[in-house]
Homo-oligomer: A and B are copies of this chain.
Amino acid sequence: MYGRYTQELGVYAKEEAARLRESGQRRSVSRTLDLLEYNKGRCAKCRRSGYPYVLEAPPQDFISVCTVRCQKFLISRVGEDWIFLILLGLLMALVSWVMDFCIAICLQAQKWMYGGLDSNVFLQYLAWVTYPVVLITFSAGFTQILAPQAVGSGIPEMKTILRGVVLKEYLTFKTFVAKVIGLTCALGSGMPLGKEGPFVHIASLCAALLSKFMSLFGGIYENESRNIEMLAAACAVGVGCCFAAPIGGVLFSIEVTSTFFAVRNYWRGFFAATFSAFIFRVLAVWNRDEETITALFKTSFRLDFPFDLQELPAFAVIGIANGFGGALFVYLNRLIVQFMRKQKAINRFLMKKRLLYPALVTLLISTLTFPPGFGQFMAGKLTQKESLVTLLDNRTWAKQGIAEEFDYIGHSEAWKHPQVNVFVTLVLFIVMKFWMSALATTIPVPCGAFMPVFVIGAAFGRLVGESMAAWFPDGIHTDGTIYPIVPGGYAVVGAAALSGAVTHTVSTAVIVFELTGQISHILPVMIAVILANAVAQSLQPSLYDSIIRIKKLPYLPELGWGHHEKYNIRVEDIMVRDVRYITLNCSYRDLHNVLLTGHLKTLALVESTESMILLGSIERAQLQALLSLQLGRHRRLEYIRERALEEKKRLSVVSNVSSENISQRASQEVRFQISTEDSSLSPSRPVPQKPLKPALKRPSVVERATEIPTGPHDHSGIALKNLFCASPDTEALEEDVDVEDDMTIREITEWEEKQLDEQVNFNNCKIDPAPFQLVERTSLHKTHTIFSLLGLDHAFVTSIGRLIGVVSLKELRKAIEGSVTVKGAKVRPPLASFRDSGTSSSENEATELHKLWDRHKSMPLPREPTPSESDEKSL
């Protein structure tokens, strides 16, 4: 069962995003440093390391110097994209080949067991059933224990990740291991599961791990946008080396994972996918499986007359029927997941015995395919690969016409039943496999749905083709030569159409050509795929989007086919007008109130309530940290210390100079706050217990003191300048005055009330200085484009600098789903999930934090720096 996108993940994603942004900002502060390092690391490498060595080194060290230099050179080249891509391709080809090898062995073992026990049907049944049950259960258990993120296809997650969302644990080594082993076992069981989706995930995992590994050598691998580009290429590699279909792989991965595609990234995908597919096939040649590099499911249809023009309506029928079929598959799949979630009784039981569901499903499916049983009517003994090969065969099975003398050889004999027509076998195969695949893909193991769907489509195409061959035994063509109908061609068309309908892609056509090694049926395939897409897209979301909705992953839905409304809805129609904001000169009390009432992750910073000029946006966590800092124990201690100091001064009558300083400082307090404590602490981190250095010694404070307001206009100007000039000097403070916290609660409350009335000092607050802005008149179409292009979470709506509203992903999603009604896709909040117990601990944690926050709410003022997540939980 699909794991839901639980809050745990959401919170993690937010944290991670915050962390990244923070580190980004930290990086930017030390930018010049970085640049220097970069130069040192790349360009000046030889000069810096090589020459001095040569000059100083004795002759016998010359070789080692050369070695060092070569090494440095190699390391500097490691940063090149193509080296990374070659490594990625090589790695994935090896992984793919080894996995294929293991899967083949697993499947052979089952056949061998089944064949060896042919004396006793019951034993045979036991062997036939136990083997997949054990494998699937192991796979489910293994994945569950090691990395539950490895469950399922992985394409929906990759789509979300490529949109810029950080998903927890989705690109770790643990997940890689779980996915590879889990997938091998799952596919080795012979269930109708696919390997394409997981391969996309595995390739992305490979890329992420490789990137991490390579960053040991050079710093370029730490760049985020580069990593996203590499992940996109990795998706192409995944499909490419799974089917040995580089072009189709690139296109499929683009269609499935991207909304906007950077053409400059195109070559990366092609390069890596081609290399990977090449190595993958070369391994097969070296292993003596093949004589030379050929297609995976090579067909041999005739080239001179692949199909007649009058057969095109039949192809179109396949396309339309498969369109409906694809939509039905997606619907069925979602229905099963939702049904299992809704049934509380079943759910509770299954939650306890988490491996029961996979075992039961496997038992059911393998029982039905048991060859001496019902399996004989649906070619049950064929593996997925074998059935595909037989379906794409260029001979005609139907017993009429010229195909009569053909007797079923090899695997094809599985389709032949002494009592039953081949048409019945095909229909049974299609119907049974259809629901079996929809059911099997809900098992919580790493698995995809592409291959099963592909096979079902091929079977449907074959059915139509055989019918056509039976109807027109001499072919349709009337001029002279007899060109019999090729049912295998229909199978190709059907496979492409159904898989295209389920995934909402056109590039399955290309994958089919590359898989079969023949492009002669290009027009029928294209027509069928486009028709299937048209039908399926108007009925249901794609399988991946459906899973995204089920899992509640944060993703923006697509704009549908040709809905004009999207050009006429404008931002002003969907935006939230009641924006939470803070002003530049607000007090801590305002901040406190805003934080208590609002729920948005980021808050707008405006110049003043009257002008509403948008200056930037600040994260809640930042504000929370500011507030905590202002009211924190640290500051209170300082207050006590100060009080003690003053006391001391009053007692011992100190010199004029220091008292002057203090008065100067006091005058600053109104405008600038006391910047010592603030600058020594980076907000959102727990308050470090560092000793304090008196503000008097800090030159920056004195400098700032000279900037005294000079005119009526300077009001905002100076305040802003303070924001800009905030230099992040975080010197370690030296002196320490030990004081005791001897204030009573009443005193504390009084002190806090006083603190709250002070003006907020944004000096060390991380402000996003240019949040994305839209205009009221921006159309929904354009807004969608911008949101998906830039991976935005929210955007402020401004009008000549004035903040008038805000649009977040939520509003946009609502607006799109309002205009583009996707029928039957209303995913109600699932009541339970199989992984609920797994996530309960962190949810408890969340509740804990929530309570903490509620406590803060009931008490007038938060006192301690609360963890930054707490507010995000209080959604």
Contact = CB atoms under 8 A, between A and B. Distances in A.
Nearest to A85: B562
Interface string A836-861: 00000000000000000000000000
Interface in A692-729: 711-714, 716-717, 720, 723-724
A477 B292 contact: yes
Nearest to A303: B300
User: Could you say how many copies of this chain the assembly holds?
Assistant: 2
A488 to B, nearest CB: 14
A610 B716 CA distance: 8
A263 B270 contact: no
B264 A261 contact: no
Most buried by B among A220, A509, A767, A800: A800
A259 interface: yes
Given A259-B263, A278-B527, A530-B267, A517 B520 contact: yes
B564 A611 contact: no
Interface in A790-804: 790, 798-802
Nearest to A558: B264
Interface stretch (A305-313, A623-631, A638-646): A305-313
Interface string A580-622: 0000000000000000000000000101101111111000000
A106 to B, nearest CB: 29
Contact of A270 (B225, B281, B506): B506
A266 interface: yes
B562 A716 contact: no
B611 A724 contact: no
A670 B228 CA distance: 56
A254 interface: yes
Interface in A209-225: 220, 223, 225
Interface string A369-389: 000000000000000000000
A125 to B, nearest CB: 41
Given A220-B564, A724-B802, A800-B720, A291 B607 contact: no
A13 to B, nearest CB: 21
Given A264-B558, A567-B226, A291 B720 contact: no
Interface residues of A, number: 114
Nearest to A311: B292
A116 interface: no
A367 interface: no
A429 to B, nearest CB: 28
A538 to B, nearest CB: 11
A614 B260 contact: no
Given A523-B281, A610-B714, A801-B615, A562 B82 contact: yes
Contact of A799 (B724, B774, B789): B724
A260 B262 CA distance: 4
A568 B262 contact: no
Most buried by B among A35, A261, A479, A612: A261
B530 A271 contact: yes
A857 to B, nearest CB: 31
A572 to B, nearest CB: 9
Interface string A475-491: 00101000000000000
B613 A613 contact: yes
B225 A567 contact: yes
Contact of A255 (B266, B277, B509): B266
A274 interface: yes
A298 interface: yes
A124 B790 CA distance: 65
B303 A298 contact: yes
B258 A31 contact: no
Interface stretch (A169-177, A443-451, A780-788): A780-788
Given A615-B800, A724-B800, A255 B247 contact: no
B506 A514 contact: no
Contacts of A829: none
A91 interface: no
A176 B163 CA distance: 41
A295 to B, nearest CB: 8
A220 B567 contact: yes
Contacts of A527: 274, 278
Contacts of A800: 605, 615-616, 720, 723-724, 767, 769
A130 interface: no
B509 A799 contact: no
Contacts of A611: 607, 713, 716-717, 720
Given A800-B615, A800-B723, A255 B260 contact: no
Interface in A261-303: 261-264, 266-267, 270-271, 274, 277-278, 281-282, 285, 291-295, 298, 300, 303
Contacts of A741: none
Contacts of A34: 568
B767 A270 contact: no
B294 A309 contact: no
A514 B564 CA distance: 34
A67 interface: no
Contacts of A12: none
A6 interface: no
B259 A264 contact: yes
A85 to B, nearest CB: 10
Contacts of A738: none
Given A31-B570, A255-B263, A770 B773 contact: yes
Contacts of A774: 770
Interface in A42-99: 42, 79-82
A370 to B, nearest CB: 37
A513 interface: yes
A344 interface: no
Contacts of A278: 523, 526-527
Given A271-B530, A282-B309, A309-B285, A770 B785 contact: no
A9 interface: no
A518 interface: yes
Interface of A: 28, 31, 34-35, 38, 42, 79-82, 220, 223, 225-226, 246-247, 251, 254-255, 258-264, 266-267, 270-271, 274, 277-278, 281-282, 285, 291-295, 298, 300, 303-309, 477, 479, 506, 509-510, 513-514, 517-520, 522-523, 526-527, 530, 533-534, 558-559, 561-562, 564, 567-568, 570, 605, 607-608, 610-616, 711-714, 716-717, 720, 723-724, 767, 769-770, 773-775, 777, 779, 781-782, 785-786, 789-790, 798-802
Given A518-B519, A610-B716, A612-B717, 13 more contacts: A38-B568, A42-B564, A261-B262, A267-B561, A291-B479, A292-B306, A293-B309, A513-B513, A513-B519, A615-B800, A769-B775, A770-B773, A801-B801
12 contacts: A81-B561, A82-B562, A220-B567, A251-B251, A262-B785, A274-B530, A294-B306, A300-B304, A517-B519, A611-B716, A611-B717, A613-B720
Q: Give me the 7 closest cross-chain CB pairs, A-B, nearest first.
A: A615-B801, A81-B562, A610-B717, A769-B800, A519-B519, A274-B526, A28-B777
